[in-house]
Amino acid sequence: MTTLLITDSTAYLPDFIVKKYGIIIVPLNVHLPQQDFKEGKGPSNQEYYQYLRSNRVFPTTSQPSAGEFLEWFNQLTPGDEALAILISSQLSGTVQSAQIACSMLPDDHPPVTIIDSLSGAMGLGFQVIRAAEMLAAGSNISEIKAEIQSMRQAMEVYFMVDDLEYLVRGGRISKLSGILGNVLQLKPILTVRAGEIVLFDKVRTAGKALQRIINELEKHRPNLHKISVLHVDALENAQQLQARLQADFAVPVYLVEAGPVVGTHVGPGCLAIIFY
C-alpha cells in the first residue's frame, strides 16, 4: 500500500526533505502584468524580489486548479491512499480546489484525506514534515490527523513587514490597519489566528518588534519542538536571527526563504519566526 503525501508550494520545504520522503508539491500561481508562472517554475526568488523592488507592482496569486489535484488522486490504485496538507483556507482557495477534486472521484476510489493547516509557510511545512516522519514510522492516517490537530493548536506565527501595502492590496489584512501603520510610522507585528492574518501588536521600531516576537517565543520555551526563521529577500537579517536563536534555544532552527506566492503578499524585507 502506498500513501501519497501532498502539500502545496507555500510550505517552502527544504529540497532534501521533499526528496527524502517523496512529498508531492502542487504549485500555486503568480500573475504579473506580462507573465504568469507556477511557483517554483518561474524566476528565482532573487529575480522576483528584485522585480518587485524595482517596478513597484503588486502581482496577484491564485490557487492550483482542481484538475491539478485530480491528476495526483487518479494515480492511486486499490489499497493506496492520499493525505493532502494545505495552506490555510482563510488565505487561499487551495483547500477548496482539492475538495472539488475529491468530489469528482468515484465512490469506490481509494481514500483521500485533506487537512486544512490553518497556516502557511513553515507553519504548514512543519505539519507536513511531521506527517512524513509519522508515515515513515508506520503511523496511519487517523494517528497523523490527531497529531496535526495538536500541532495546529500549538503553532505560532509572528512576522513583521517593511510595507503593509502588499498585504492590503492582496486583501490579507484590513485597509484600516494599513493606513494606521503607515501614517503613524509604527512597526506592526502580525500573527495568524484561526488561519487568518491579524494584527498582534504595534511598536515603534523594527528592533522592538523583533524583541517583542522573541519575548513570545520565550514564553513557550518549556514546550518548544522546532523554530523556523523565514524571510523575504532579507537573508542577512535572517541569518543573524537564526544564529541568535540557535544560541538561545536548544531546538532545531530552520532558515527558510519564502517564495513568490507568500512574498507577493508580505513584500520584500519581511521577517518571521514560526514555532511550535
The answer to whether 3-28+63-153 and 156-275 have equal CATH topology is no
List the strands of the sheet with 3-8, edge to edge.
Answer: 24-26, 3-8, 81-86, 112-116
CATH class label, 156-275: alpha beta
What is the pTM (predicted TM-score) of this model?
0.93
pLDDT, residue 176, reads 45
Domain 3-28+63-153 fold: Rossmann fold (3.40.50)
DSSP 221: G
pLDDT of amino acid 165:
77
pLDDT at 99: 98
3-state secondary structure of 236: helix
Identify the segments of the chain with pLDDT beneath 70. 170-185
Give the model's pLDDT for residue 171.
Answer: 63
Task: Note the pLDDT of residue 184.
Answer: 56
Are the beta carbons of 30 and 36 closer than 8 angstroms?
A: yes
What are the residue ranges spanned by the domains of the chain?
3-28+63-153, 156-275
Q: From 264, 273, 267, 270, select the one nearest 9 (Cα to Cα).
A: 264
Residue 266, pLDDT score: 92
CB 192 within 8 A of CB 123: yes
